[in-house]
Structure 1
Amino acid sequence: MPSTPSARATGGDRKTDASDALHVAQVALFRHDLRPVVPDDQTTILRLLTERPDDLVHERTRVLYRLHAVLRDLLPDGAPTGLSADKAAALMKGIRPVTATDNRRRDIARAVLADLCRLDRQVKDNEAEMRKAVAAARTTLTTLPSPGTVLAAKVLGHVGDVTRFPTEHHLASYTGSAPVDASSGDNVRHRLNTGGKRALNSVLHTIAICQIRDDGRGQAHYLRKISEGRTPSEARWALKRRLSNVVYRIMKRDQRNHLARAA
């Protein structure tokens, strides 16, 4: 009787996209707890808007380095650090090229400066669109101390439909904010969770750092963990875990309010 290749066959039965798709379909036939595919919604728009600045900032940094290098060859004292489009434009007004080479350098500097100004405008335009999208989502995440519009947009964009997480513990696992137990005997310790959605983990980390710095419940929670014998890192992880729970409750409440208004 011929053998049947398994779903995780190795050797001669190489994996292909077609076989992967078949195995996924076979698993789906016997799983009734999978979420159905739904059309993209406002949260998808928010995720796209929050991902766009990363590309713009990386490109802006590259252009800024290029502009700094060109101005360094044009200015007797070189170009200062902390260069911006306005500072570069002011410096270029005083440049008086003598040679044909310096004339070409100035032309290149002008072109690179135009690229920098364009990228600055795109960053601002993207921020304006993000604010509009967050307002359209009618979220109350922005009332949480320290998140701001950009961080709220990242949470909404990457979490999506919060009902796909049955409990706050599931969301904490998804964000990687639940510390991993590393206890040994009577020595209770936890280590950093390196799993989960890193974009969301980064948002929670930023909010935690801001709340630790400022007076409020976040700082009080952090200091309480320190007084209990936790290390600063462990106290910060505990605050991130608490923030994940708060985010979950806020998003669930917002969803109930949306459904009530739609009814």
Structure 2
Amino acid sequence: MLLVTRESAIQARTGAFNQLKALILTAPEPLRQRLRALKRHALIDACLRLRPSAVADAEERIRRTVMQRLARRIRDLTAEVHAADDELAELVVRHVGHLLQMRGVGVITAAQCWVSWSGPGRFRNEAAFAALAGVNPIEASSGKHTRHRLNPFGDRALNRALHHIALTLERCDPETPRLPGQTHQRRQNPARRHPLSQALPRPQDLPRPRTPATRRAGRLTNIEASRTESARRPAVDGSVPGLQGGDQASAGSRRRPAEAER
């Protein structure tokens, strides 16, 4: 319940802050220049100090009133999140304090693992826990191709907690094994190689796989295939294959005297 309350408070705080930023973006130039460069905490304090009654314009007065209410809401939601964090830390230390001794595990991730684990006897082995967390690969083989894909099912909150733990270990733990060229930003590293190709030696008699370039090199286009077929097919009307227009006429005129002599 505390995790759900904390998550809902964070989502509501994010929505209120986005609304506040939108009001600042459409505010008059003096107020916008005054608030747009401030950081989050300084911006909340500045919005709380706004005086709507000091402005004569009705639209500007309403704008400042709404901004003040949004800043107050963000402050209250932040206090609610901090209170939930304190209560979660107390419960985690009391019941599953050994999880906090592991590298990469914090209060929120430990609480999520504890809630998803539920109690002794729920999982018969580690594979069942991996299936619940959605970290076990699903076989997606077809014919002679053997491959696996990520599991989109399971407890996504637990999956996110394990993902945070893995990222923290990768960035901060020097003992965590890393693959050559591996980074946490996968889209910015296009030269990735699968670890299996480096771990297993390749047999000598195994032919190299055909690349798209070699496939295109050994494949004829429709025009080239038609020309090759016409060159191989014998001419029915006495024309010479491969000659066009005037070349066919000159070839025919050279054949006629020879036929007359016969």
Band the TM-score falls in, shorter-chain normalisation: 0.5 to 0.7
Offset, 1:97: 2.9
**Percent identity of the aligned residues?**
24
Task: Provide the C-alpha distance between the structure 2 equivalents of 1:188 and 1:81, rounded to a whole number of angstroms.
Answer: 54
- Matched with 2:20 is 67
Letter in 2 for 1:200: L
Instruction: Choose 152-161 or 163-172, whichever is displaced more.
Output: 163-172
State the distance in 2 between where 1:126 and 1:81 align: 30
CA displacement at 1:79 relative to structure 2: 4.6
For 1:59, what is the secondary structure of its paired residue? helix
**Which structure exhibits the higher relative contact order, with contacts defined as CA atoms closer than 8 Å and separated by 6 or more residues?**
1
Query: What's the counterpart of residue 85 of structure 2?
Result: 127
Contact 2:24/2:32, CA 8 A, preserved across alignment: no
Shift of 1:213: 2.2
Match in the other structure for 2:241: none
Aligned to 1:161, the other structure's residue is in SS state coil
Alignment of 1:1-263 (within 5 A): 48-72=1-25, 73-74=27-28, 75-77=31-33, 79-80=35-36, 84-90=40-46, 93=49, 97-183=55-141, 188-218=146-176, 220=177, 227-229=195-197
Contact 1:181/1:191 (<8 A) preserved: yes
Q: Distance in 2 between matches of 1:94 and 1:164?
A: 54
Deviation at 1:87, TM superposition (A): 1.8
**Alpha-carbon spacing, 1:106–1:178, altered in 2? closer, same or farther (3 Å):** same
Cα distance between partner residues in 1 of 2:129 and 2:173 = 27
1:214 shift after superposition: 2.8
Equivalent residues of 1:85, 1:116 under 8 A apart? no
SS of the aligned residue for 2:81 comes to helix
Q: Which amino acid in structure 2 is aligned with residue 88 of structure 1? A: I
Gaps of 5+ in 1: 1-47, 231-263
How far did residue 216 of structure 1 move? 3.6
TM-score, with normalisation over the residues of structure 2?
0.60
CA distance in 2: counterparts of 1:195 and 1:83, whole angstroms: 38
Whether the aligned pair in 1 keeps the contact of 2:139 and 2:147 (CA below 8 Å) is yes
Name the aligned partner's letter for residue 197 of structure 2: G
Gaps of 5+ in 2: 183-192, 199-262
Instruction: Tell me which amino acid in the other structure corresponds to 1:58.
Output: Q
- 1:183 deviation in Å? 4.5
State the AA in 2 paired with 1:53. R
Residues 241-261 of structure 1: CA deviation (Å, up to 9, x unaligned): xxxxxxxxxxxxxxxxxxxxx
Deviations 1:114-141 (Å, cap 9, x if unpaired)?
Answer: 1111011001111111101101214311
CA 1:105/1:221 → structure 2, altered by over 3 Å: closer, same or farther? Answer: closer
Distance 2:43 2:172 in 1: 33
Q: Which residue of 2 aligns with 1:238?
A: none
Verify the 8 A CA contact 1:145 1:211 in the aligned structure 2.
yes
Distance 1:216 1:185 in 2: 41
Change in Cα spacing, 1:171 to 1:81, as seen in structure 2 (3 Å) is farther
Rounded to whole Å, the distance in 2 between the matches of 1:185 and 1:82 is: 59
TM-score of the pair, normalised by structure 1 = 0.59
